[in-house]
Structure 1
Amino acid sequence: MPTALITGCSSGIGRALADVLKNAGYQVWATARKTEDVAALNAAGFKAVQLDVNDSAALERLAAGLEELDVLINNAGYGAMGPLLDGGVEAMQRQFETNVFAVVGVTRALFPALRRSKGLVVNIGSVSGVLVTPFAGAYCASKAAVHALSDALRLELAPFGVQVMEVQPGAIASSFAKNATHEAEQLIGEHSPWWPIREGIRARAKASQDNPTSATDFAHGLLKAIQQSKPPRLLRLGNGSRVLPLMSWLLPKGLLESGLKKRFGLDTKL
């Protein structure tokens, strides 16, 4: 029975992936931060593990229990929304710790098990790493970093028979927008220079749920790619996952920026 480990399985993409891989015959190690989420995963028949992906000691304990690992899916992450200067360096550090640094930390900890199995690393990026939008600068930058790290890891792990696939989802039905809105609301206040256009910030936080693809459909698409003899280097799944990067590449930069300014209320003087 092949073994898969998925981070961030409390809901959304992570939970859907855990369900789909389990039904496909994988032994699924499903991780989550909160005790109640771990209990729910355990009750559902997964090898549930409480894990903060930034906790190096917890990662060492996890690695000690895994002899072999066929598939590692680095899914844990969140979206920090709001003006870059309102959030500042501290907000960016939090964003990068979970979305970027943890990708390296988790993969490094589980590399021995992946090497023994000649396994596959799947990094969940985003089309936001290709088409950068306002009020999501830290998130977009983190996903652009995931793209660069995935390319580097693919080259560096090749001698060991370990493959790397990056996935860039489009709009996927999940709690992402709810969590992103919560993050944004922590920054939105009358002290902000962007207070007069706060609805643009809220609109960006909710944008990921515009006509989303279901998480289950996304998970089935990813499973199909994982099971290929040569998994693709880059996989785009979900509504907008192909159109948005195409827009970024083909549209003149000035025209694209004008459209984004209008969409998010930045075509005004403050």
Structure 2
Amino acid sequence: MIHKHWESSEMSDRTVLITGTSSGIGLATAVAAARAGWHVIATMRNTAKAGPLLAAAEEAGVTVDLRTLDVTDPASVEACLAGVDRLDALVNNAGAGHIGTLEQESLDDVRAVMEVNFFGVLHVTKAALPLLRAGKGRVLTVTSVGGVVGQPFNEAYCAAKFAVEGYMESLAPVAATAGVSVSVVEPGAVASEFVSNVGLTDDAAEQAGPYAPALAAYLDRTRGAFANAQAAEDVAAGILDLLAAERPAFRMLTSDAARAFAGVKLKDLDGSAVQGLTSGWVA
């Protein structure tokens, strides 16, 4: 992937709001965008966890506008956006991993995954769209290769990411008629706290009953994948490319591994064929 470097003066009057910036892709994107000259509204559910972001920003010699935002709480979303006068881009990054299988978890567990990874994206995007329309801006949503290919023990997580992908793919041609571009960013395995935040214990497989052998095999495979994970900073660089692109593609797969994995299912890798088709329905 070739990344273009942008001078601060090119972006100095532009504002981007990024969700989930306490770690990983969100943190790296917030710092990279600030270094590129964007005014960055960096949001997270609990600003007590802002230490790593603020330290990284200080090290990079940049500042960010830190705000509280719980994507699952419409009142929190409304309060955060209420103080924003201009918005040129939204990066929906906040999300949560989940490992489990249907027989052994409650539907409330599944609903909780959907709230964070699907409805949370909708809450923020809906609130931001009036500002984005005014500035002919763009929406970037970090999904996953799990939004393309269903994966064992990721039923709820993949369902949420499939839902986000379908929603954004459907929204894109409609939003484009109002001057707003919509894109999805699909990483594969990324070196971040995402996996540790899933909360699996060392004896998880032993507690999986009839699914114990399958879960043990899945966990072994997953540890191997994350041992060779893509750096969050590389994903952030790709997001910056989309933020700066004159005509951003609908879909960005962020690594060769992600492209190979999703390519098993997708041939329309940048989403242009689907967008070319459905844009004609609303022109």
Bin of the TM-score, shorter chain as denominator length = 0.7 to 0.9
| Secondary structure of 1:111 counterpart | helix
**How far, CA to CA, are the matches of 1:89 and 1:126 in structure 2?**
22
Say yes or no: does 1:20 pair with 2:32: yes
**How far, CA to CA, are the matches of 2:174 and 2:201 in structure 1?**
37
Q: Within 5 A, what are the aligned runs for 1:94-109? A: 94-109=112-127
Per the alignment, do residues 88 and 4 of structure 1 end up closer, same or farther by CA in structure 2, a change over 3 Å counting? Answer: same
Among candidates 157, 171, 179, match of residue 139 of structure 1: 157
Structure 2 gap ranges (5+): 1-12, 58-62, 268-283
Q: Which runs of 4+ in 1 moved over 6 A?
A: 184-187
Counterpart in the other structure of 1:155: 173
Residue 186 of structure 1 and its aligned partner are, at CA, apart by 9.6
- Give the fraction of aligned pairs with identical amino acids, expressed as a percent: 36
**How far, CA to CA, are the matches of 1:207 and 1:86 in structure 2?**
25
The alignment of Structure 1 onto Structure 2 pairs a total of residues equal to 249
Say yes or no: does 1:193 pair with 2:210: yes
Counterpart in the other structure of 1:229: 246
8 A contact 1:53–1:106 mirrored in 2: yes
Counterpart in the other structure of 2:15: 3
8 A contact 2:186–2:252 mirrored in 1: yes
Say yes or no: does 1:85 pair with 2:107: no
Structure 1 gap ranges (5+): 251-270
My pick for the range that moved more, 235-244 or 31-40, is 31-40
**Matching residue's letter, 2:153:** F
8 A contact 2:205–2:216 mirrored in 1: no
Counterpart in the other structure of 1:121: 139
Per the alignment, do residues 135 and 119 of structure 1 end up closer, same or farther by CA in structure 2, a change over 3 Å counting? Answer: same
**How far, CA to CA, are the matches of 1:177 and 1:237 in structure 2?**
18
**How far, CA to CA, are the matches of 1:186 and 1:25 in structure 2?**
46
**How far, CA to CA, are the matches of 1:70 and 1:208 in structure 2?**
35
My pick for the range that moved more, 80-89 or 158-167, is 80-89
Per the alignment, do residues 187 and 105 of structure 1 end up closer, same or farther by CA in structure 2, a change over 3 Å counting? Answer: farther
**How far, CA to CA, are the matches of 1:85 and 1:51 in structure 2?**
33
CA RMSD, 1 decimal? 2.2
| Secondary structure of 2:78 counterpart | helix
Counterpart in the other structure of 1:214: 231
**How far, CA to CA, are the matches of 1:155 and 1:69 in structure 2?**
20
8 A contact 1:178–1:206 mirrored in 2: no
8 A contact 1:236–1:242 mirrored in 2: yes
TM-score (norm. length: structure 2): 0.81
8 A contact 1:136–1:204 mirrored in 2: no
Per the alignment, do residues 205 and 111 of structure 1 end up closer, same or farther by CA in structure 2, a change over 3 Å counting? Answer: same
Say yes or no: does 1:34 pair with 2:52: no
Among candidates 189, 197, 200, match of residue 179 of structure 1: 197
Among candidates 60, 76, 94, match of residue 78 of structure 2: 60
Say yes or no: does 1:247 pair with 2:264: yes
Residue 225 of structure 1 and its aligned partner are, at CA, apart by 2.3
**How far, CA to CA, are the matches of 1:109 and 1:206 in structure 2?**
38
8 A contact 1:38–1:49 mirrored in 2: no
**How far, CA to CA, are the matches of 2:94 and 2:155 in structure 1?**
19
**How far, CA to CA, are the matches of 1:197 and 1:142 in structure 2?**
22
TM-score (norm. length: structure 1): 0.84
